[in-house]
Amino acid sequence: MNLLRRLRLGTIIMVALLFLLVFVPFYWIAISSLKIPQEVIAYPPTLFPRVLTLANFEKLFASTDYVRYLFNSIFVALMTVLVSVPMATLASYAIYRLRFPGRMLMLKLTIGAYVFPSILLLIPMFQVMVRLGLINTLWSLVVANVTFTAPFSVWLMRAFLDSFPFELEEAAALDGAGFFQTLTWVVIPILRPGLATIAIYTFVTVWTEYPFASQLVIEDSKQTLPVGLAAIIGQYQIDWGLLAAGAVFMTLPVMILFAFVGRYFIEGLAAGALKS
């Protein structure tokens, strides 16, 4: 009994430490965005603003192109999700549920792309975008991000496709359903946790992507949030309050996304862990 209590106490302590590691940075960014510049860099630091101010947010929207960066990031992230998720779903269904020669070799070659650091593909990707006429456009980021998110999503869908019996598809075929009808009315509804998982993974990956966004897009008006926030950092000084205000609004879309579909994401990860 004493051993069980110790294990339970140790678990509680570990969860509390993990919560602090996750919560404290977000809390510090939030309160820093509400402080005056002198208090942001004051020592010792204050756990709560002595004087609440919205000047950092006013300056963010008045003196920077933050709104433009925000809409650019939303466009790139949503377009990548709309392309990557259906592509990964169809590809994973074909590889894991259909039988054709070379399907596992195709999967290995697809996953093999992750053997190399993505930064090594920056120059080839830049050359491809130049030939396609997509350089300095947001669509170049969509294509680049689909290239890196779709293969992993295909692999991630395996556990979800293995979670329901093939007999359901056979029963649908016996009832006269075609391939796309079976996929639409039988497979996809069951795969909703998996679809939510790869959609959130894709969105967050694209939302925080920096190297390709900084190189494939040249014009400042077409930059995404990570690049735009980096531009706020000056060469000789940093406006920490302004940077914190930008970081707060950068996290909001992800928090809203998790508020609506976070339950499916957690269920999907749990299902994948149990069935992998």
Once rounded to an integer, what is the mean pLDDT over residues 88-104? 80
Cα 253 to Cα 273: distance, rounded to the nearest angstrom? 27
pLDDT in tens, 190-203: 788 788 888 888 99
**Spatial CA neighbour of 159 closest among 191, 185, 181, 188:** 191
Q: Please, what is the average pLDDT of the chain?
A: 82
Higher pLDDT pick, 165 / 226: 226
The SS3 assignment for 42 reads coil
In whole angstroms, how large is the CA radius of gyration of the chain?
A: 23
Count CB neighbours of 172 within 10 A.
Answer: 18
pLDDT in tens, 141-172: 999 999 888 888 888 887 777 777 777 777 77
Count CB neighbours of 125 within 10 A.
Answer: 19
Structure tokens at 199: 């959609």
Q: Is the pLDDT of residue 263 over 70?
A: no
Once rounded to an integer, what is the mean pLDDT over residues 246-270? 73
Helix axes 138-156, 103-111, angle to 10 degrees: 120
Higher pLDDT pick, 50 / 80: 80
**Spatial CA neighbour of 229 closest among 80, 79, 72:** 72
Q: Full-prediction pTM beyond 0.85? A: no
**Is the four-CA dihedral 81, 87, 88, 90 of positive or negative sign?**
positive
Cα 259 to Cα 272: distance, rounded to the nearest angstrom? 21
Once rounded to an integer, what is the mean pLDDT over residues 33-47? 84
Q: What is the pLDDT of residue 276?
A: 47
